[in-house]
Amino acid sequence: MDAFIFFLALFTLMASTPPADAAETSAAALLKTVDQSGKGDYEKIQEAIDAVPSNNKEVVFILVKPGVYEEKIVVPADKPFITLSGSKANNTIITSSDSGNIIKSATVTVLASDFVGRYLTIQNLGYQDTLLDETGRHYYYNCYIEGAVDFICGNAASLFEVTFQEPVSEEFSAITAQRRQSPSEETGFTFPGSKMTGERTAILGRPWGSYSRVVFALTYISNVILPRGWDDWGDASMQSTMFYYEYKCYGPGANTSQRVEWSQKLAPKEVELFLSKSIVEAKSWIKPTPKHFKKPFLAISNNSTEHP
């Protein structure tokens, strides 16, 4: 079975419930290194995460040295402000081969707020649902996402900027399965300036939720995308509630003349919101990469909430 890959040059995530208090984070980050050769502070990524105290209030920068890390990683909800960083995405790989349950089979699970992932490849041998983008506000920049059926799914409010996607399914494939379930939910997936390539056919999206919301704007779409563009998942009643829009996309797959009649185009004034990071309220939580670090970062019991 093909390996499906989430390749990150930069991936920034903030969970919205409960929010962490960013004002209490320190200017200098606590630095910890992970190195399989034994030359770092830890040999496994999860060990470094486990050492971060519960109710953490300081930026923790975990530098992962090159290698293939066969681990399933979990960042608990009570450990915010963690940055997990490799040096190059093509030589720092986190991989697992679990499959089945969409929650339990994940290679990397992030439950905490203010998480940043950089220069990593996250890989799983599962067949579909590559990226469960479920809760919170997320920003993806310069990423490569490869998958098959519904391979970007969930109900977060997320901006995918300069994201490369390649559907690899041998049969049916959908790029997105967004799960917005009511008009009051401020969630949805936006793809401004992305690039879509691949060898097999796919659609742009289908509704996991009745009010599914997905926007592709200024995106290159190759002929991998079928002319109809979208699917109603066999439920025509959702055609009037879904929010599926395209704006000034280009490429052989961007011709909308044969799109399903219920998909829509955005007007220039309407699209402004979807082209800006303001749609995910980025100014309130996206912070620059730390330039100053504290060492040594002593191991701390998870039962303690204070640094020694």
What is the CB neighbour count within 10 angstroms for residue 62?
Answer: 24
Burial 87-124 (b: 16+ CB within 10 A, else e): eebeebbbbbeeeeeeeebbbbebebbbbbbbbbbbbb
Please give the pLDDT value at position 296: 54
Please give the pLDDT value at position 127: 66
For residue 92 the two structure tokens come to 């720092």
Give the Cα separation of 129 and 4 in Å (integer): 10
Q: What stretch of H or E contains 47?
A: helix 45-50
Residues tagged active-site: 129, 150
pLDDT of 237-291, one tens digit each? 999 999 999 999 999 999 999 999 999 888 888 888 888 888 888 888 888 888 8
Burial 221-253 (b: 16+ CB within 10 A, else e): beebbbeebbbbbeeeebeebbbbbbbebebeb
pLDDT of 36-56, one tens digit each? 999 999 999 999 999 999 999
Query: Which among 144, 199, 154 is positioned nearest to 176, based on CA atoms?
Result: 154
For residue 35 the two structure tokens come to 């190195």
The pLDDT confidence band at residue 26, using thresholds 50, 70 and 90, is low
pTM summary value: 0.86
pLDDT of 70-92, one tens digit each? 999 999 999 999 999 999 998 99
The yes-or-no verdict on residue 201 having pLDDT over 80 is yes
Cis, peptide link before residue 18, omega less than 30° from 0: yes
Q: Which domains does the chain possess?
A: 1-126 (2.160.20.10), 128-281 (2.160.20.10)
The pLDDT confidence band at residue 20, using thresholds 50, 70 and 90, is low
The pLDDT confidence band at residue 16, using thresholds 50, 70 and 90, is very low
The yes-or-no verdict on residue 304 having pLDDT over 70 is no
Taking the CA atoms of residue 130, residue 135, residue 137 and residue 139 in that order, the dihedral angle to the nearest 10 degrees is -10
For residue 275 the two structure tokens come to 């082209």
